[in-house]
Amino acid sequence: MLRSLDSQMFGAERQVASGLRIEQASDNAAYWSIATTMRSDNGALSAVQDALGLGAAKVETAYEGIAATTDILAAFMAKVVSAQQDGIDKNKIQEELEQLKQQIVSISNSASFAGQNWLRSDMQGQASEAGAKTSVVSSFNRSEDGTVSVGTIDVDLSKLVLFKNGGGGILQKEPDPDLGHGLGTIGGLLGFSTSGYGDVPGPVFDQPFTITKFDVVTVAFSVGTSNDTFVITKNVVDQALGGQIGYGFDGDIESTADWAKVLLQATFLNKAPPDILFAAQGGAPNIFFRATIPLAAELITVQPPVHTRTLPPEGIDILDIDVTDPDIDFPTITLVLDEMQQKVISAGAYLGSLRSRIAMQEAFGNSLADSLDRGIGRLVDANMSEASSRLKALQVQQQLATQSLSIANSDAQNILSLFR
């Protein structure tokens, strides 16, 4: 009996000391396995919460930089507008603008946290490339089959970078690489003109090129006595190619097949079927123009295209603005500054939404960790009141058993006589 009580007391004492009803696999293999896995997941969740805190700090740092930049751009715009007044000392205004420029650069350089600066980057190439993105660890997931994965919140740095090496940041002009392949001969269309009946050969695609947001290509043509034009802009290219596998909304035209799709889009865009005179057809290696059925026998004549830009080809860099330049184009400068300011405001809104999402994920992570703790407790925690009472009862039983054994040892003969 004493040996049995000692064993029971060891188990009760262990429960009281550890607070666990199931401490080892031998106590209950199934519950121990579940609880151990959940503890591991809870540890991973704790690491995720730390990562979210780090991500929130990076977002907050970038947001403060963007907010300060917004205020400076407003002051910059006001100075540029003031410089357009007759009789004002533009040299003095330029001195103020130089100070504002230095302050913007200082903000972009110092908005760094944990070695990352989201406002000034070494990104190269298109915004769709992997180097233009970063991520914040946001979740730890375990699927029904037991596989685990880590979720992230992606951050598109192309929406935030004020300055990047080689140009192309929000406050910089677009460098040649960001203008894609350049216009060249606009895929063979520049200087192209033709006429004929039936399937009229179109422009011979010679090299890849890019239609930027600044480009407008207008082509006048006639079919019989009917005249019309088609216009190619970046929006047209995006409608023709954007969203397809392997294509971004970047205005890039890589092949004859791409060019034919763009021309087809341009020739019937926003026209009712009766108003369409002809449409581009074909693909690699040929493009041709075909009149609609009612006009199939009419003469097709395509005039040379007219290419215009709404802004200078290279755009404008805020650090190059000089109101003392006698050739300065104030309307264009004002337009570009407003566009920059809107982009910076959009960047602030983007960071604000990221900050809100991270905060919501942090709150959810804390709730989830608490839920896992409660779940583990229900599986393996001991009822301390019950375990304590049981331990006291076992101690009393042990004392009684010890006294009984002592009595039996001290007067064995009298006790044996009871069994005779």
Asked if residue 108 has pLDDT above 80, the reply is yes
pLDDT at 286: 86
Residue 377 located in a structural domain:
no
Does residue 70 sit in the same domain as residue 129? Answer: yes
Could you report the per-residue pLDDT of 197-222, keeping only the tens digit for each? 999 999 988 888 888 877 899 999 99
pLDDT(404) > 90: no
Return the residue matching tokens 């520049």: 190
Q: Roughly how many angstroms between the first and final C-alpha of the chain, as a whole number?
A: 23
Q: Is residue 368 part of a domain?
A: yes
Paired residues of 210 in beta bridges: 252
- Highest mean pLDDT out of 1-15, 37-51, 71-85: 71-85
166 and 37 both lie in a single domain: yes
User: Cβ contacts of residue 358 below 8 Å, gap of 6+?
Assistant: 52, 55, 56, 59, 136, 138, 153
Evaluate whether residue 349 is within a structural domain.
yes
Whether residue 369 is predicted with pLDDT greater than 60 in this model: the reply is yes
Range in 93-107, 270-284, 303-317 the model is least confident about:
303-317
CATH of residue 226's domain is 2.60.40
pLDDT higher than threshold 70 for residue 138:
yes
Angle between helices 29-82 and 90-110 (to 10 degrees): 170
| Domain end position, chosen among 258, 289, 309 | 309
pLDDT band at 418 (very low <50, low <70, confident <90, very high): confident
Residue 274 belongs to domain spanning: 186-309
- 41 with 127, same domain? yes
Confidence tier at 17 by pLDDT (50, 70, 90): low
Q: Specify whether 213 is located in the same domain as 110.
A: no
| 278 within some domain | yes
Q: Is residue 134 part of a domain?
A: yes
Judgement on whether residues 12 and 100 belong to the same structural domain of the protein: no
Q: Residues 53, 8: one domain? A: no
What is the structure's pLDDT at 123?
A: 43
In a domain, 120, yes or no: yes
Among 285, 309, 333, the domain-final residue is 309
The 10s digit of each residue's pLDDT in 153-183 is 888 888 888 887 667 788 887 655 445 677 7
pLDDT at residue 20 is higher than 80: no
119-132 pLDDT, tens digit each: 887 544 333 344 46
Average of per-residue pLDDT values in the chain: 82
Asked if 62 and 153 sit in the same domain, the reply is yes
Angle at 219 between CA 215 and CA 225, to 5 degrees: 160
Range 13-20 average pLDDT: 66
* pLDDT number for residue 91: 93
Same domain, yes or no, for 214 and 245?
yes
Give the domain CATH number at 53.
1.20.1330.10
The share of the chain scoring above pLDDT 70, in percent, equals 84
Average pLDDT of the segment spanning 47-57: 87
70 pLDDT more than 90: yes
Q: Note whether 230 and 158 are same-domain residues.
A: no
The β-bridge relationship of strands 300-302 and 215-223 is antiparallel
Whether residue 180 lies inside any domain: the answer is no
pLDDT at 102 over 50: yes
pTM beyond 0.85, yes or no = no
**Whether residues 324 and 272 fall in one domain:** no
Domain count, the chain: 3
Bridge partners of 222, per DSSP, are 227, 301
Q: Quick one: 36 and 157 in the same domain?
A: yes
Q: Which residues of 230-262 are buried (b: 16+ CB within 10 A; e: fewer)?
A: bebbbbbbbbbbeeeeebeebbbbbebbbbbbb
Give yes or no: residues 265 and 324 share one domain: no
Rounded-to-integer distance, Cα 284 and Cα 74, Å: 50
Beta bridge partners of 196: 300
Query: Which of 12-16, 259-263, 314-318 comes out lowest in average pLDDT?
Result: 12-16
Mean pLDDT to the nearest integer, 338-364: 91
Q: Please say whether the beta carbons of 289 and 300 come within 8 A.
A: yes
Residue 178 lies in a domain: no
